[in-house]
Structure 1
Amino acid sequence: MARPVVRGTAAWKYFGDFRDVLLAGQVLVLQVAHPVVAAGVRDHSDYTSDPWTRLMRTGASLSIYVYGGKAGARVEAARLRSLHRSFTGVADGKRYSALDPAAYAWVHATLVRVPVDAQRFFGVPLTASELDEYYAQMCDIGRMLGVRERDLPPDWAAFSRYYDSMVAGFTGNAAIDQLFETIRTVTKPVRWLPGACWHWHARIQMFLIRATLPPAFRERLGLQWTDADQRRFDRFARAIRLLATPVPAAVRTAHMRWIGKLNVWLRAHPHIRRLLVRDGARRS
């Protein structure tokens, strides 16, 4: 059993760091690279038609696991398991379920890896002791989510081997192609955002995906990466590192902690949550 996720612990400092969002595209690619996840996204996800609402729901859910307290995390975990229980279908002639243990564990694994990679690329890599604490805390969260004990490698070294072996078995698929197309064609999240600014969204997002995917997998997807690209990314990463590293962890994670606490409160007051959702739907 790991230390609780409280102020100053590894998961508290790194899981909600604002730099994690720079790997949002990368983690989505890695998730839908799993054939069961790809089939579930194809049959049950609305992200291609309404990606911004889907992104907000995902962010709200993630924030609860780490920053919503144990009681909030248990409630959210039960809600997610109940929701995904109905996500079933047929892929390649075989029945699948969104709660397939191996696929469920893989989605959790990709989320575990994001903060560590974000610090490796854009910050200061976690120390060995921080990795141990962080991974143990994320395993506790995985258990609350219903990930089987045998699908949680015992330590970070074993987790890294598992993660690398999974990525080594992935190739391109239609879900990844659809994700790339959605990134290229998605409409602005808000009307007032200048079109000139939004024009760069797809290029930046695809650049970050190409930069942060495991190189061998990037090559299998046919994504080009040149020495000039690497130099541009190194300059970008250096700038983020210089700007963000001096910022206290309490500031870097403030948005996710606030979202987590707010969503725990809203789930305890469902009538207010329903009112806000209806009002937001009318305005959109």
Structure 2
Amino acid sequence: MTGDPGLFGPFSVTWHLHADPMMWLAGVRALYLQALHPVAVRGVLQNSDFRADPWGRLMRTAEFVGVRTYGTREEAETAAARVRRVHRALRVHDPDSGRVHRVDEPELLRWIHCAEIGSYLHVVRRAGLRLTDAQADRYVAEQRRSAALVGLDEAPGSVAELEAYFAAVRPVLRAAPEALEILRFLHRPRIRPLTAPLEPVLWTPLSHVAYSALPAWARELYGRPGLSEAATTRALRVLRRAALMIPARLRWRLPSPLIPAAITRLGPAATPSARGLAAVGSAGAVPGSR
């Protein structure tokens, strides 16, 4: 491979894990989890067009994840610079304390980062992607590069550190009114009239599975039960098997064809696959991690 592998490249866990079709459902789970931080969720609702254009915002987030994973290093750094520039200018008012926070405060960035990568790792593994514990640790360590892109210097470097972070931050979390607004939206989103008939048969069940994949303590904060642990695992595995029946060349074109472009740039050996993931080493330091 002679092309630019970007921040991660085909010899990373990230390269193969982020190509899994369950990343979409994992992203919804991340939104449920992120909304439980009162200041973070207020930052979203006070500074974005989430209410007016929720789908556009979700697709832009997916695009950023894709660019930083499969784009060239220049593309990833350019996209991240744009995100940092926007974040520097934004503030969030917390009515509980009366304080005004910067959106790019390290604690807020750390919460968003950890809720995101924790959700990706949890859902994709639980849905059936075979990942060793060492590879899971490597994934968390690799994602320090993603954290650094948005200006976060310190982030968990292993699954144990990630779990310790969640345990430490839990006293801050609660289902504020803004979190309940996100909860209601994700269960019953505003769907265009042409696609409205699909809501009860497609989106609502998928959203409920994503919600059920939250940790028990998060569902307790929301005060709403989900599926049982066994039923959630079964649903995730059935959904993943169904999604894998769709040809990869079609699945990989949303939100934009970043994976096909990376394969074209680097050659067929860069194709994300179970075999490629199995070949990723887990020993030693992760290049470029902080």
TM-score normalised by structure 2 residue count: 0.76
Find the counterpart in structure 2 of residue 268 from structure 1: none
Find the counterpart in structure 2 of residue 269 from structure 1: none
1:162-215 CA deviation, whole Å, 9 max, x = no partner?
A: 1333246411111211112323443325x543x432233553144224311110
Which of these residues, 119, 128, 139, is aligned with residue 144 of structure 2?
A: 139
Match of 1:143, SS state, is helix
More helix by share: 1
1:227-248 CA deviation, whole Å, 9 max, x = no partner?
A: xx44543432332354467999
Distance of aligned partners of 1:250 and 1:117 in 2 relative to their CA distance in 1, 3 Å threshold = farther
- CA offset at residue 43 of structure 1? 1.2
Answering whether residue 58 of structure 2 is matched by residue 46 of structure 1, we say: no
Find the counterpart in structure 2 of residue 212 from structure 1: 213
Partner amino acid for 1:98? Answer: V
Partner amino acid for 1:233? Answer: T
1:28-49 CA deviation, whole Å, 9 max, x = no partner?
A: 1211212221221231121122
- CA offset at residue 79 of structure 1? 0.5
- CA offset at residue 23 of structure 1? 2.4
Find the counterpart in structure 1 of residue 198 from structure 2: 197
Cα separation, 2, equivalents of 1:232 and 1:119: 16
Distance of aligned partners of 1:88 and 1:241 in 2 relative to their CA distance in 1, 3 Å threshold = closer
Gaps of 5+ in 2: 1-5, 262-290
Which of these residues, 5, 20, 24, is aligned with residue 8 of structure 2?
A: 5
Distance of aligned partners of 1:44 and 1:6 in 2 relative to their CA distance in 1, 3 Å threshold = same
Distance of aligned partners of 1:82 and 1:216 in 2 relative to their CA distance in 1, 3 Å threshold = same
Partner amino acid for 1:196? Answer: P
**Conserved 8 A contact 1:17-1:115:** no
Gaps of 5+ in 1: 263-284
Which of these residues, 63, 67, 86, is aligned with residue 66 of structure 2?
A: 63
Find the counterpart in structure 1 of residue 237 from structure 2: 238
Cα separation, 2, equivalents of 1:247 and 1:168: 42
Cα separation, 1, equivalents of 2:171 and 2:208: 21
Cα separation, 2, equivalents of 1:155 and 1:187: 38
Cα separation, 2, equivalents of 1:217 and 1:89: 23
**Conserved 8 A contact 1:13-1:253:** no
Find the counterpart in structure 2 of residue 177 from structure 1: 180
Distance of aligned partners of 1:185 and 1:241 in 2 relative to their CA distance in 1, 3 Å threshold = closer
Which of these residues, 129, 133, 141, is aligned with residue 128 of structure 1?
A: 133
Distance of aligned partners of 1:257 and 1:167 in 2 relative to their CA distance in 1, 3 Å threshold = farther
Partner amino acid for 1:84? Answer: H
1:129-159 CA deviation, whole Å, 9 max, x = no partner?
A: 31233222211221122102xx313433212
**Conserved 8 A contact 1:64-1:260:** no
Partner amino acid for 1:67? Answer: Y
Find the counterpart in structure 1 of residue 224 from structure 2: 223
- CA offset at residue 78 of structure 1? 0.9
Partner amino acid for 1:147? Answer: L
Cα separation, 2, equivalents of 1:247 and 1:201: 16
- Between the two proteins, what is the percent identity of the paired residues? 22
Aligned residue pairs, count:
255
Question: Larger deviation: 58-67 or 128-137?
Answer: 128-137
